[in-house]
Structure 1
Amino acid sequence: MRILCSARVWSTLACARSRRLLSRNPVQAYNTRAFHDSLPALLRVDPHRRSLQDPIFKDTIFALATPPGKAGVAVIRISGPAVQDVWRLMISSPNKEGLTQNQSEKLPQPRQMVLRDIKVPSLNGDGEIIDQGLVVYFAAPKSFTTEPLLEIHTHSSTAVISKVLSSLAQINGCRPAERGEFTKTAFMAGRMDLTEVEGLKDLIDAETEGQRKLARGLAGGDHRIRYEALRTDIIHAMAIAEALIDFGEDDNIGDEVFEQARDKAKELCRVMEGHLNDSRRGELMRSGVKISIFGPPNAGKSSLLNHLSQRDAAIVSPIAGTTRDIVSVALDLDGIKVILSDTAGLRVTEDQIESKGIAKAEAEVVLSDIRILVLSLPVFAYPWTQPQEYLRPVIDLVDPERTIVLFNQSDLLPSSFSIPARVPSASDPALTSISVSTEISCTPKALAERIVHEFLPRGTKIWVGSLEEKDDGLERFLTDGLGKSVKMMFETGQGGSGEESPLITHQRHRHHLQKSLHHLQSFLAEPPSNIILATEYLRLAAREIGKVSGREIGLEDVLDRLFGEFCIGK
């Protein structure tokens, strides 16, 4: 049975016809003339002012605000005009408090926790007690949604939560909330803008300290202020251009006024280009830095993945080709989220299944932000017969800007040993076989440097260590090699942003900022004679920035700027 949302309102619907219309389809009935004609004069609404946002027709939404499952406390949130009916029908005072019936039906003081019985809804108040918990009321508009809001804190068990939610569904006008509907209600009411909504979502999803800090600034309005500053500067330039259109002929406002707008637009272009050339720091901080481990078989790639993840995430075997698919783990590296992927060993093979794994590995490496090439150092020590064949499958994937090389298994070599002295052949100095001459003394570090000099691109960063021994070389690779490579991607001071966090944190932000920059550049390309078209480009640029925060540009913005900063004298 559905319990009426407000008996007082329903009792005023004097005509049975209006009851029938409303019960069939409330939304359709509300927009029909027959329904409004059947209402008493007190409830009739001007047809030009009818809105589904009117309290008596707006849904009250409810949802579980905490993760489902067994826990100490579950929080169920209810928002909307029927909050008082929920309180009256489902919440009652424990007998020990000695409150009268009238007192117990009144909503408590806002923002004060009270101990109450949560019951199955009943008009006469004799419903079954579901649980006893704390209830807090937030009065409109000082709530998250700006509507009357109630939070019920119960014991978190499947049975209790299910019974409370099903009981709420029995109250007329109450329905389960859709995904994100509480936040959407807050946004529609002006409680937050789109960047703050995105920040709230990112804060909930944050896994690392860096993500938390970035999301907190976004949810706290820091980015809204910065975007609004850009938008305000564009409107300022547009106000100058509007003044030239409206008053240029009467007041002899010359080209120097137009130049002021151009100077403002040039500065805005410089700032926007700086934000756009930020190496995607904000997006990477949110989604995580993609790091791929690649190299020939049996070099220690899976062992490195297991060492970094501190668990056996990948199978380690001396059999070449053990890893055939991509194995990925998410890690927190000094507050930065990284997605570390182990790939199949790269070599020439006729095995069709292994070939597919190698193709996937190459594609993964190409898309990664940082590449770790793991090589077995003893392979190059002796005999030096085919180093070029060992490196041929991987050398095209070595990008000195994004690749760090770990020469593994250095513990299998002595501290000093002899190798043949070799020089690259003239026909193919990168990868062809090398003539043998006299032997020279060498160390593991010197051998690694020689390999880079003779086979790998210049500027490639190398480290020598042992995953088996976990020596100092491996620790230096993790801290000075991998750690610094990740941190360099998030160094402040890029893009003219100083010590501020990156402005762009979502692809949507980048899209609108790029379009705004394009409109500003179009404005700069127009001569003063096309002032009307040029001004329209400024309007479009401001609108794109407004779309980031969900705010559209209006005439009032231009008028306020125009009359606030220009003394036209008329």
Structure 2
Amino acid sequence: MKRIRGLAEETIFAPSSGNQKAGVCVIRVSGAGCRKVLDGLVGEPVRARQACLRTLSNTENGEPIDRCLVLWFPGPSSFTGEDVIELHVHGGRAVIDATLRTLGNFSGFRLAEPGEFARRAFLNGKLDLSEVEGLADLINAQTEMQRKLALREADGRVKALYEGWRGRLLHCLSFVEADVDFVDEDDVPDDLGSTISGSLAELLEDVNKHCANPMQGEVLRQGFRVVLAGVPNVGKSSLLNRIAQREAAIVTETAGTTRDVVEVFVDLGGYPVVFCDTAGLRGTEDPVERIGVERAVKAVNEADCVVWMCDERLEWPEAARSLTDSDAIWIRNKGDLGDPGESAPQRSPVSLVVSAQSGEGVVDLLALIQASASERFELTEDIGVVRQRHAECVTNCAGHLEAALKLSGQDHFDTELLAEELRLAARALAKIGGRIDVEDILDRIFGEFCIGK
């Protein structure tokens, strides 16, 4: 695996708590040069793994920079596996800048790149790639459910699952390898196929069950998408503004005002929900409006939940039924204008009356959407696929497992071919943790981090 430049020689530093003004700013330093910081910047002895109050001094003129807490973590028992120092300085801009400037004056020191601390932890075997991804999700989590799912990755539960599968695979592979290399030994089973086929079948069942679970991680990361759809002028934009509690979309009485998809992120009971206002669905000769209608149809097709809206006219787009699954919510807006009375069709799909103007029924609508999101994101003890990258690796593993199981069930089979299928299955699982062949995705994964992580 290619290592980051000068990993053994360069010492990196960066604020780990962000650059905004705050009561305290944590500046992290990692690398072999940490002792230079203890000797030059701190000066006084610091006990390992204890918070010590010390004065930081400018190495050029000896003037004090700040009075702060210093924590010293000798490697390899540290986050990165290297020597690490944390400086808990006051969070004023001048203090932070002076500290960073002084650190930069040490030979071999430089400002860390985004995610470089986590990358060093990965390269030094402190974290596997699934734990790194979980850490990134935990840092970026905006809602309670995002936090809970990210913690499953970061605390090693995803790693334990895939490593357990890989261990079972390698156990079967050991029998096959023994049959190839030590065919005359008494410890090698005579009927290799029947010896491992049961274990392979059980493992394949577990893998397929895992793949069948909805990929909650990707949806939770991007948000549960709720699309507001209907004919023009039924109040979709007004409802979006009511939900967002701000003027997120332009509202006029002119039909066709909304031309593009307007998105608003909402933390709905701990669930990340993205509400999407769309162009009114109707036939039009206006080329710009037509593009808006096409984007609205696309948004409906890609939605996790569709809220179909009408007003007192009870008009629905012709394509509403064909574009909708059973999870759609049908509502009538402008409830403050009264009941449409006898003019309403005998059969209407409306399940809820709301008013974007007064707020009537909006709480009930949000409760329905939250229930839909809750059903989609129900976290059980079974760990589902949390990332598309994981899904591809697990699917690849399942394919090789099926091939191996089919071979083991034959009366006469090529043992070396069986061994190769098992190796490829194990290799696919190893890629999830970053054991092999992941250099092409490292930059993308670690780029999700802030500078100081």
TM range (shorter): 0.7 to 0.9
Deviation (angstroms), 1:224:
1.0
CA distance in 1, matches of 2:235, 2:388: 36
Residue number in structure 1 paired with 2:373: 486
SS of residue paired to 2:329: strand
| Pairing partner for 1:521 from 368, 381, 402 | 402
Larger Rg: 1
Deviation (angstroms), 1:469:
4.3
For the structure 1 residues 112 and 352, does the alpha-carbon distance in structure 2 shift closer, same or farther, using more than 3 Å as the test? same
Is the Cα contact below 8 Å between 1:407 and 1:464 reproduced in 2? yes
Letter in 2 for 1:73: V
Is the Cα contact below 8 Å between 2:213 and 2:384 reproduced in 1? no
SS of residue paired to 2:342: strand
Deviation (angstroms), 1:359:
1.9
CA distance in 2, matches of 1:475, 1:175: 52
CA distance in 2, matches of 1:486, 1:356: 29
**Aligned pair 1:314/2:252, yes or no?**
no
- Percent identity of equivalent pairs: 37
For the structure 1 residues 522 and 139, does the alpha-carbon distance in structure 2 shift closer, same or farther, using more than 3 Å as the test? same
Is the Cα contact below 8 Å between 1:348 and 1:393 reproduced in 2? no
**Aligned pair 1:121/2:59, yes or no?**
yes
**Aligned pair 1:175/2:110, yes or no?**
yes
SS of residue paired to 1:207: coil
Residue number in structure 2 paired with 1:541: 425
Letter in 1 for 2:432: V
Is the Cα contact below 8 Å between 1:241 and 1:258 reproduced in 2? no
Letter in 2 for 1:298: N
Counterparts of 1:167-206 in structure 2, within 5 Å, are 167-206=102-141
| Pairing partner for 1:86 from 15, 30, 37 | 37
For the structure 1 residues 81 and 247, does the alpha-carbon distance in structure 2 shift closer, same or farther, using more than 3 Å as the test? closer
Letter in 1 for 2:59: P
CA distance in 1, matches of 2:321, 2:132: 45
**Aligned pair 1:262/2:146, yes or no?**
no
SS of residue paired to 1:165: helix
SS of residue paired to 1:217: helix
CA distance in 2, matches of 1:321, 1:546: 52
Letter in 2 for 1:78: V
| Pairing partner for 2:71 from 125, 136, 144 | 136
Say what the alpha-carbon RMSD is for the aligned residues. Answer: 2.5
Note the alpha carbon deviations across 1:251-290, whole angstroms, 9 max, x for none.
4967743123222222222221222122222221222112
Is the Cα contact below 8 Å between 2:404 and 2:421 reproduced in 1? yes
Is the Cα contact below 8 Å between 1:347 and 1:393 reproduced in 2? no
Residue number in structure 1 paired with 2:313: 379
CA distance in 1, matches of 2:320, 2:342: 26
| Pairing partner for 1:451 from 328, 348, 368 | 348
CA distance in 2, matches of 1:298, 1:90: 66
Note the alpha carbon deviations across 1:210-238, whole angstroms, 9 max, x for none.
11111112111111111111111111222
Is the Cα contact below 8 Å between 1:214 and 1:501 reproduced in 2? no
Counterparts of 1:333-372 in structure 2, within 5 Å, are 333-372=268-307
Higher relative contact order (CA 8 A, sep 6+): 2
For the structure 1 residues 255 and 333, does the alpha-carbon distance in structure 2 shift closer, same or farther, using more than 3 Å as the test? farther
Is the Cα contact below 8 Å between 2:242 and 2:359 reproduced in 1? no
| Pairing partner for 1:210 from 142, 145, 150 | 145
Note the alpha carbon deviations across 1:411-452, whole angstroms, 9 max, x for none.
43448x435xxxxxxxxxxxxxxxxxxxxxxxx7xx5x7134
SS of residue paired to 1:451: coil
Is the Cα contact below 8 Å between 2:215 and 2:384 reproduced in 1? no
Q: Which runs of 5+ in 2 are unaligned?
A: 438-453
TM, length-normalised to structure 2: 0.87
Note the alpha carbon deviations across 1:161-215, whole angstroms, 9 max, x for none.
2222122111112111122111111112211111111111111001011111111
For the structure 1 residues 414 and 217, does the alpha-carbon distance in structure 2 shift closer, same or farther, using more than 3 Å as the test? closer
Note the alpha carbon deviations across 1:444-492, whole angstroms, 9 max, x for none.
7xx5x7134xxxxxxxx84333334444x5443332x322221221235
| Pairing partner for 2:325 from 399, 404, 408 | 399
CA distance in 2, matches of 1:342, 1:274: 36
Residue number in structure 2 paired with 1:477: 365
CA distance in 2, matches of 1:234, 1:185: 29
Q: Which runs of 5+ in 1 are unaligned?
A: 1-50, 93-103, 381-386, 420-443, 453-460, 493-498, 554-570
